[in-house]
Structure 1
Amino acid sequence: MIQTMDLIWALLFFGYAASLQVEITPMQGEISVGESKFFLCEVVGDAKDIDWYAPNGEKLLPNRQDIIVNRNDESSSTLTIYNADVDNAGVYKCVAKNADKESQGTVNVKIFQKITFKNAPSPQEFNEGDDADIICDVVSSPPASIIWKHKGSKIQVTKDVRFKIMGNNHLQIRGIKKTDEGAYTCEARVMARGEIDLKIIKVIVNVLPSIRTRQSEVNATADINQSVMLACDADGFPEPTVTWARDIIVLESDDKYSLNDDGSELIIKDVKKVDEGDYTCIARNKAGGKEEEVSLNVFVQPRITYLDNQTASELEEQITLTCEASGDPTPTITWSFGRRFFTEGEQSLDGNVMVRSHARVSSLTLKYVQFTDAGQYLCTARNSIGQDQQTMYLEVRYAPKIQGSVTVYTWERNAANISCEVLAHPGASVVWFRDGQQLPSANTTNVKIYNTPAISYLEVTPDSQNDFGSYNCTATNLIGTESKEFLLIQADVPSAPAIERVEPFSSTVVVEFEEPDASGGVAILKYRAEWRMKGQDWTSREYDAEDGLSMITIVGLKPETFYGVKMSAINGKGEGESSTPLTFKTEPVREPSPPKLEGKLQTMGNALKVNWIKQDDGGSPIKHYLIRYRAKHVSDWKPEIRLPHGSEYVVLSSLDWNTEYEVYVVAENQQGKSPPGTISFRTAAEPTTIPDTMTSGSGLGTGAIVGILIVVFVLLLVGVDVTCYFLNKCGFLMCIAVNFCGKSGPGAKNKDIEAGKAAFIKDESKEPIVEVRTEDRTPNHEGGGPTEPNETTPLTDPDGKIMTEDKSIAPEMETEVKKAPTEVKTVPNEAAQTNGNESKA
């Protein structure tokens, strides 16, 4: 029984092993057109062949391009469909065979059309105002429904009649505007399979150009090599191209015309009258074109055609100056002289000046001509587009006019210069007199005369009281003669200054004073301050009398001590009387006064050097200085810096760029700390590049340095030799002059130079007086020529040498020179000059 059951089970096992089973994965297939997909056929059992069959029953071979069959191993095979088409749909069959046994499996492949946008270009362009048809062509199976969206919202055609969805699913916008521009969404949906897809279409609205001319009319001037610009600004979308035309001819850049990059500016070079007319600005883009005209008006600038110099004599009855000019429009003509302006029909209050014009001619008439009328007259021709100017010179001949300071102060044995400034045309000769006697004379050895083209200087060195008094200057030319008396006055010492206020501190005192009522005739040079404690000798100090000096500070005093103080003034003559002494008491010992701060930003830009000036120390020596600083936008101070009492500055470095800082400096003595001296500053902006502050050396080699030293040594030897030649008549240069040139050297001039030094000698007990009186000039003489010396300046020749009497001249020649009148030649046709302010030095 057991053997029978075993036999049955054995037969069943071998029967199952001999049968075949086929399974296809996936069991069903849906493929979108154009997609690819594979199917796996697996066989249970021993299969010799595994084949695939198409829906039409045709066996699929491995060499096909669209459908490929691959035998993976003994029990499986793969069917792959590439780029599926609707023709590939159907039931595919996988058949497994082994001898007379066969098994098969099937799979139903369905092909469908996904949503596809066949024609939906982006961007799509339209002209503003047109009826726009936005294209969106969609194919699918089954057909898709289309929804249009704009700015994220569905377009409601019932709310805006301008929008309409056409039968072909296109979107129509009637009279499209620039505001309609943007992104539109074409959304397709297949409800059967829940498929959705969309296409974003950019809509561009082109706008017809508009033109705005910057100037509808432009004026230009001809024949002056002037260029003129015609300009128009064009707007539109897309940006229009701009061209220019004249008389239907398009203008291009060449020797006559120039266009900028966008064509909006047309430059016409070297404008001529023939360039006048209308020019057309044309703007074009995809939406169309627009034109505007600009008119060019060409005028002729004024030009003066006649203007001549004139000559007159003073007090002549009248003289007329004439100016002619051309231009289009006809120019108006005006005259000016210095700061005075004369216009058509104008007449001065005294009737001496009158202007008349007719057409293109203007005349300026002067009655009773004065020497001040001499000079340059400016004729100006002006019209609406420009002007022309030319000058003419009126020469006035007149008798001498003497100017200069009437009074000159000096003292015995101190040289002074009396200035006789002569205005004359033609030039005048000048003679000096003293008590009717012409200078210099045989009896006067302390008088010298020095002449420039317009000024004669009389240098007087008083020997006694008799040398003070009146001196006469007489000038003569072809027109006439004029004389003027000058006074040489004995100078005196100044009066006492008045002490106005005394402000004592612990160790210093500030004294305010007023200058003396009388300066003695010459400038005050110094002030002397004297102070002392009761019963002790006076201590003094001199202060230079700078401009506006009215306050001095005396230092080094003892606290809580009575002092007396007085002041005196010093000029070149000497020291005047002292003021009445004033008594004051210094303050007790206290904390110091706050230091006075000065800041200087360093070269690197983020460092500051802070200097302080010590004020009153409160009667106790300064122990040290305390420095604190911080950026103003923060509350915390940097660590305090302590410096010894002798310090005068601190450098704060590595500061933040472009930041405002404040600095406190406190002085401390035995009594305590002073209030802080404060200063604020801002650092520089951070540079983009940091300059190289390190230097690599001088750049000169040893040979170059040695060469420079040799050259300097040779030049020094030459200088010494030249000096020996002129002073001691010796040296290599002297040897050449005597042996080869036959010259004896400059010995004769040495005496003159020594004599000239006398002008520099001063009273050993007094400072020299220097007084300068400046005078304004009238318009007939120029201010050129040598620098005017003052009353105590040694007289020199125009070439800079000191003038002396030449001792080598024969006595008869010397006598002839003294008797000859001195001539001062004025420059013809120069502007006249008048007296003015006085100043003392």
Structure 2
Amino acid sequence: MEWLDPQNRTIESLQTHTGISKPAMYTEKHQEDHSLSLFFNSLQEEQAGKYTCKGIYADSQFLNKSVTIDTIIGITWDNAPPNQYPILGEDFSIMCKVRARPSPSVDWLYNGELIKTNDHYIINAYSLTISKVQESDDGIYTCRASVQTTGELQERLIRVEVHTRPSIEEISSPIDLVEGENANIECKAIGKPSPTFSWIKTLTKQNLSITDRFGVDPITGVLTIINVNREDSGEYQCRAGNAAGIATANIQVNVIVKPKIMEFLNKTVVQHNDTDIVCKAFGRPPPVVVFRKLTADRQYQMGSQPQDNRLIMTNKVNEASWETIGILSIHNAIIKDDGLYECVAKNMGGVAYKNGHLTVEYPPTFRNMANITIYSWEQRPVNLTCTAESIPNATIYWEKHNEKIEGDDAIRVIGSGPTSTLEVYPKDYRYYTIYKCIATNLHGSRKHLIELKEAKRPSELLNAKIIEQTATSMKFDLVPPMSPDLPIETISVEYRIYPLQNWNQAQNRTWSVGSLYVVDKLKPLTNYEFRFAARNDVGLSNWGTYLQQTTPSKTVPNEPKILTASDAKYEQSTFNNQYELSWLTPPDNGEPIDMYRIKYCQTRQVSGEWEVLNDTCLEDKSQQGRTRHYLKGLSSDTFYRVELQAHNIMGYSKAGVATFRTNRGKSATFANMNSRCSFDPT
């Protein structure tokens, strides 16, 4: 017996099979009943068909019997990826190729709703086509297969994510970078999924992600350039790509070269001539070049200067060589033009500075030397100094009586310019004369006169008179002598009791000129004689301008002078409940002051006059030696009149009077005031 396949080929017996694994189908003979079985190792769809068992009996009788095998195949997903990605705006087919036997029927669902063919969806044999994909087409689609004869049903969930092609945001171009600095260039794009970035240099097609000075962040799209150089100028291309496609944008990069001053030379010009100060600078773009004198606050402006039309500033620009020549033209140069100038070159990349000097040469001048007279006396040596300003420095020599000073042992010349000093020992009247300082340089000669005069002691005072007296003091009005050679420094007085004392027993006092001329600690009812003298650097004048005066008898003190902050009708107190009263100690008129009496009353102005409210008056007393007293417990925003009297054994003085007003607002606390002012050193 043997088995034949549908093509009438004999099927191999397992006993005759030589392979290691079993064949797809084979026969096997059973010894018990001598039957021959056909085995399928793993039945496949293509093995379906009619199989025939054939036998020969007694070598002459042929026997056969056939059996038909029909295969049933379960639902199989041949091409149905679980994640599929259409592109926004394009047609897309969601693949779902399914196989089964008997053949399956397929339908589609979206969000649980059955899909039917329409303008947007087309159901094909192995796919669902979406026309012009929209973002709303994102979601989960169900591919459902069923076999009616077997009742089998299976579903395949497919996640559809709509991708969008990258789109690069507009980039402002060109972009200016500064040579020598680090720079970042941004490239932003949108797309789904988020695009990744790369950069190339358009001309060289160089991938900038793999170069030393360049760095590309593939996520953010930032191109980083380390230490920008001039060769980095040119066009760059940003590329943004995702699964949906690639977008590109070209960007022009300009490299700004910082300004550099190539030449700024010192210059010399002769006074009243014209000259140009020139500064050459390089940069990209060519810089603007301006000047500033270092002694000035502002730079010069282009063109003629409003405050000085002698100065004109211009620029000559060469775009090809990236060079600018700045020129400051000076017409009719004068001495004040001399000095340091700053050249300033500026473009978008930065600023460069360089200093240069303009020297204005001019003949000697004594413009800073005053016309003074030098004094000497008693053959005292003096120095006559002469300083000439000029460029170049001047040479100086001296003349006396129109003859060059040489070989005189009483005169020594120290220095020959630009400063020279004449050391003079005036041993007789001939040396008191006019000396001529003569300064010379290649541009001219100038002279300066210095007079040496003999100084003398002052003459007597022009006038002296007594303007105020007390029992113990005299106050004088003194008029110093007129037009002395040297200024009066002090005035002295000698005084004696006349006629009991001679001048050898006299007392004296010295005042500086312009001070109060007062002699105190005199005796009451005593006749004094006074004489006066003035002093300058030479010495004291003769004593003169004699005065005799008898001091009055002892009496009450003079009226105290109350100190106020101003000459207004009243003083404003800084406190709302107190007032600080201060005064000057008056002359005591022969007997010491032992106390002060203070009376203060509220007052008011009626028709321009002050009216005292008598029922408000209070009195205080202050001890001897004090010149300050606080009036406390006052009403706020109130006018007060205060009277101050000094007392000695002879009685009370006339009252010094003042008016004040307390503060309206809140003042410092009484406790704080006391802690600050509780000790009075007077």
Please indicate, yes or no, whether the TM-score normalized by the shorter chain is above 0.5: no
Q: Which has the higher contact order (CA 8 A, sep 6+)?
A: 1
TM-score (norm 1): 0.36
Q: Which has the higher helix share?
A: 1
